[in-house]
């Protein structure tokens, strides 16, 4: 039986209150024994220092941390320095992404695509890091075609990725189709589904419009009908996302990666419903 990987994603807090809140969330989710906690990375220095502090705080608490690295605004020198710092602290897991260009930022930096970043990490540090990359079952919003997006993903894998985490989605068939298409290209690494618990429809709609994740029309209409009834939206979201996770795991998905938004309650509820 294949061992499944479960993991949780955080963003770095910017205030002392946010740090305390994240520690409480982390300790609650740690009871579920995830393989690692990943920590997002702000482009252009926006949260980079906070990312390092958060990663080291997770590690000091005795848990495994996987920091994100992004191409946007990065240079060879600063990525090299970050890699060396992570190696010094014994970090062995990285999520390597192209990242999104913040508004008002003119230059992408010295890495244009994630495959270049993966290749650089491998050249600099050999097999020290387990490298995760991003996958897009509903295709990257900036991809010119589905085929081009698949070939971009293949390039990241060939550059040295060990496994992949997907953008969140609510259509399981999109994930299964993507995995089948990758297999047909000879890409056989584990592709872990990204899972977004639903707690706030307005926020979810904003995220989804930005990242190209489709909210199926029936889901959108139902949540719109609930209007400001947060409890009904959360109850509906728990049902929908739990069903999605059950279907994915039953069909052989190699694990689940939860986008927690630094909250524990919804992820824990889904976990308990799944009987994990």
At 185-204, the pLDDT tens digits run 999 899 999 999 999 999 99
Q: Given 9, 116, 119, 132, which residue is catalytic?
A: 9
Residue 276 has pLDDT above 80, yes or no: yes
Q: pLDDT digit string (tens) for 132-164?
A: 999 999 988 888 888 999 999 999 999 999 999
Most confidently predicted of 40-44, 78-82, 221-225: 221-225
9 is catalytic: yes
**Residues 10-17: what's their mean pLDDT?**
92
pLDDT of residue 108: 63
Backbone φ, ψ for residue 88 (5° rounding): -55, -35
Do 180 and 155 form a contact (C-beta atoms < 8 A)? no
Calpha distance 53→12 (Å, rounded) = 8
**Percent of the chain scoring above 70 in pLDDT:** 93
CB 223 within 8 A of CB 203: no
Q: What is the pLDDT of residue 202?
A: 92
First-to-last C-alpha distance (Å) of the chain: 15
Q: What is d(CA 236, CA 250) in angstroms, rounded to the nearest whole number?
A: 21
Cβ(191)–Cβ(163) below 8 Å: yes
Instruction: Answer yes or no: pTM beyond 0.95.
Output: no
What tens digit of pLDDT does each residue of 41-78 get? Answer: 865 555 566 888 899 999 999 999 999 988 877 788 88
Q: What is the per-residue pLDDT for 2?
A: 61
Handedness of CA 117, 118, 122, 125 (dihedral sign): positive
Q: What is the C-alpha to C-alpha distance for residues 244 and 168, in angstroms, rounded to an integer?
A: 11
Check pLDDT > 70 for residue 106.
no
Name residues whose C-beta falls within 8 Å of residue 12's C-beta, 6 or more positions apart in sequence: 39, 40, 42, 47, 50, 51, 53, 54
**Contacts from 217-223 at CB under 8 Å and sequence distance 24+?**
219/170, 223/198
Average pLDDT in the 90-106 region? Answer: 75
Please state, in angstroms and rounded to a whole number, the distance separating the CA atoms of residues 130 and 65.
11
């Amino acid at each position: 039986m294949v061992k499944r990987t479960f993991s949780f994603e955080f963003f770095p807090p910017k205030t002392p209150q946010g740090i305390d809140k994240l520690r409480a969330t982390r300790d609650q989710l740690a009871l579920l024994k995830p393989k690692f906690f990943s920590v997002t990375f702000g482009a252009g220095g926006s949260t980079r220092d906070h990312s390092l502090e958060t990663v080291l705080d997770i590690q000091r608490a005795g848990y495994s941390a996987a920091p994100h690295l992004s191409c946007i605004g990065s240079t060879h020198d600063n990525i090299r320095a970050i890699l060396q710092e992570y190696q010094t602290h014994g970090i062995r897991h990285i999520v390597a992404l192209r990242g999104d260009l913040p508004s008002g930022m003119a230059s992408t930096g010295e890495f244009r695509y994630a495959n270049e970043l993966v290749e650089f990490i491998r050249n600099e540090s050999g097999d020290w890091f387990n490298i995760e990359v991003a996958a897009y079952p509903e295709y990257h919003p900036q991809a010119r075609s589905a085929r081009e997006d698949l070939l971009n993903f293949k390039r990241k894998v060939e550059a040295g990725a060990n496994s992949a985490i997907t953008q969140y989605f609510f259509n399981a068939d999109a994930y299964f189709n993507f995995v089948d298409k990758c297999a047909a290209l000879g890409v056989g690494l584990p592709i872990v589904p990204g899972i977004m618990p639903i707690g706030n429809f307005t926020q979810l709609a904003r995220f989804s419009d930005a990242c190209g994740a489709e909210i199926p029309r029936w889901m959108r209409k139902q949540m719109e009908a609930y209007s400001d009834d947060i409890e009904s939206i959360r109850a509906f979201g728990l049902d929908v996302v739990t069903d999605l996770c059950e279907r994915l795991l039953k069909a052989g998905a190699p694990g689940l990666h939860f986008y927690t938004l630094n909250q524990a309650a919804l992820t824990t509820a889904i976990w308990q419903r799944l009987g994990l």
